[in-house]
Chain A
Amino acid sequence: MVLARTLRLVAIALPVVLTACAPKSWVVLLPDEDGRTGRIIVSGEEGQTEVAEAGVAASLDTPKPETFKVTPYRIEQTFGGALAAQPKPPAVFTLYFESGGARLTAESEALLPAVLAESAARDGADISIVGHTDTTGDPADNKALGMLRATLVRDALVAAGLRLDRISTESHGEGNLLVKTPDDTQEPYNRRVEVVVR
């Protein structure tokens, strides 16, 4: 009887105590979309701590951050709004080119409608287009060739109705190889344009 009453009192008091102890400002680590979990380093005025496990939180309003576990329920209660506002993650398309010029391979040409569909499916979509080349020829020429390839893809997307002011184009030339090769090496996988739809 006494025990039952004590337990009941504890059950009532516990949430109050927990709330009183809970920090007003804190951070909690979540798993990435791909299921892996990264790390954060949390610093206060007098110390820092590392969090590397999903569901583990650290206080941000104590001189030295203190770690604690958080339930999915509390995460949803506190962060439901921020989580609901998460935009769709960016989509990446890689388009490949015939050797030496700015002509898409037939396979990659066939991917353009998918890029358009992805863009149409998003509110306020913006697109980055980055052109790349293999290591055949002069680096300066390749910078120009990468730009030519990026521009070709941009023009195709604009011709299909996308907004020019939301598309950015640049070239990395032969400076950002997908497949590492020596200089002056033909490599179809390096002759590409990367399109990111956000």
Chain B
Amino acid sequence: MSLPSAFSRLMLACALALLTRVALAEDGPIGYVKTHAGAAFVVSAGKSMEAVPGLALRQGDVLRTGDDGRLGLILLDNTVMSLGPNAEMVIDEYLFEPGNEQLGLGVRLLRGTMQFISGVIAKLRPEAVKVKTATGTIGVRGTRFLVDAGN
């Protein structure tokens, strides 16, 4: 990857993350980083942070790993996700208020590989969970799967 392209992608991701955050009503953590190795980062509200265990995640965050990177996380509804090397994923939507029937989870894997293990949201309302790549969409019916989004 050339430097200008990496830089412009980062800027775009930052701008998107910022926009999403401004649009958000609620701002609490939606989950936490649990595992990491090598280069692994979370871009949140335009700020890039090393993805260390215990780092709080928010809707709109972009997760990214390098050549030797890996990253694992658990969301508040017990959804478990983990990324392999050279991966980039965006958490577009997260709604977990079972009492108010507010449920939704939408993630986009832009490149690289991930594992997804569904949690409570998929159990309560399966159609509210979507995992997307550039060219396809995976609807989740309570389960565990692996996605390769290519490079």
Contact = CB atoms under 8 A, between A and B. Distances in A.
A105 interface: no
Contacts of B35: 85-87, 123
* Chain B facing A: main interface SS: strand
A38 B141 contact: yes
Contacts of B83: 81-82, 85
Contacts of B135: 25, 44-45, 60-61
B141 A39 contact: yes
Given A25-B133, A60-B149, A124-B55, A41 B138 contact: yes
Contact of A124 (B53, B85, B136): B53
Interface stretch (A29-37, A95-103, A154-162, A178-186): A29-37
Contacts of A78: 113, 146, 148
Contacts of A196: 78
Contacts, number: 166
Contacts of B85: 81
A40 interface: yes
Pairs of residues from A and B, 10 with the lowest C-beta to C-beta distance, nearest first: A38-B143, A124-B54, A124-B53, A81-B84, A60-B136, A123-B53, A87-B34, A41-B139, A85-B70, A82-B84
B136 A41 contact: no
Interface residues of B, number: 49
A168 B34 CA distance: 17
Interface of B: 29, 32-37, 52-55, 70-74, 76, 78, 80, 82-85, 87, 99, 113-115, 117-118, 133-151
A186 to B, nearest CB: 24
B72 A87 contact: yes
Contacts of B149: 25, 60
